[in-house]
Amino acid sequence: MISFKKRFKSHHLLSHEALLRRLKPKYRHNENLQANYHSYRAGYLGEKSVDYKLSLFPKKDFFHLPSLRLQNNFHFFQIDSLVLTPKLIFQLESKNIKGTLQYNGMHKQLIQIDGDKKTSYKDPILQAEIQKRHLMQWLQKYGVKIPIETIVVSANPNSLIQNPHNDPTFNDRFISLENLIFRMDEIYHSYHEHLLTLSQLKNLYHLLVQHDMPLSSDPIKYYNLKKHHFIQGVACERCFYSPLKRGRGYWTCPKCAEKNLLGHERVILDYFLIHRPFITNNICRELLQIASPDTSYYILNSMGLEKTGGNKNRKYLAPNLDQFPQDAEPKLFELSILDR
């Protein structure tokens, strides 16, 4: 039995995609915003590459948990991928960094060399070990005793891994994506005792899912954004003019006459990601630049959102994070930036 929990984009990535759709162009080209978006996107793509490799792991009884965030006492810790097996738990951390990667065990640093630029990162081996200790303490609270093996995966196929001081821990724990399955298989066969039954594995899997606490970001506060930074209403997907005018069941661009049936849905979903996890009829009218409460009421109800309260106090709630579209990368973003 193989159980794979699907990986979804994090709130950080989704909210940055939303910002790059909703911010006016001159604010969209903020260097910090673009760098963060590129980092979150690269991390997600690297993790997806690891997911694919894990699907080839030749073991029947294992469970895969992506992007797991747990609380240990007063601290939260995040694990990119967790693989539960009857013998042991694999804790995988992915690094999607291009260029040459040099490890310095003495100073606990990973150095990225990309052309003439050098960038220092925290020791990924040490980071994984800290997460491992948190996980061990968390599992002990529930009476689970099983070995945990950490592996850091270089998910970028174009990166060159160098260990100039031949650090044995780095050689053992930092591997390329292509070598992941072989290394996991090697480690798996070094353990001989089955410590958990299939039923116990299932229970542990559901326990971890139950206690997963995904992190939500606050981009408004982080980037100090104000109302005047944002596009007003629904924007035209052809010429980018805004706001579009609401006609009989669709949106029309006054500039190029392009029609859009569901342009409001993306705007409302982006509002949830950027501003707050609920919306009201009044806020919706201002957001979409429409005057009619009845039109706003129809639009909000057509999206099938959960709601609380009644009449003037009614709030429409944001869907769960895994229900947001996963393929809605910002069209208004300069794609050349992504390929740097």
pLDDT band at 2 (very low <50, low <70, confident <90, very high): low
Instruction: Answer whether residue 340 shows pLDDT above 60.
Output: no
Residue 335 pLDDT grade (very low, low, confident, very high; cuts 50, 70, 90) = very low
Compute the average pLDDT of residues 149-173.
Answer: 95
- Report the relative pairing of strands 89-95 and 148-154 from DSSP bridges: parallel
CA max distance for the chain: 70
Residue 22: is its pLDDT beyond 90?
yes
pTM: 0.91
Token pair 């747990």 is at which residue?
70
Contact criterion met (CB below 8 Å) for 78 and 94: no
Q: What are the C-alpha distances in Å from 60 to residues 3, 57, 193, 196, 198?
A: 9, 8, 16, 14, 11
Q: Is the pLDDT of residue 336 over 50?
A: no
Phi, psi torsion values for 8, nearest 5 degrees: -120, 160
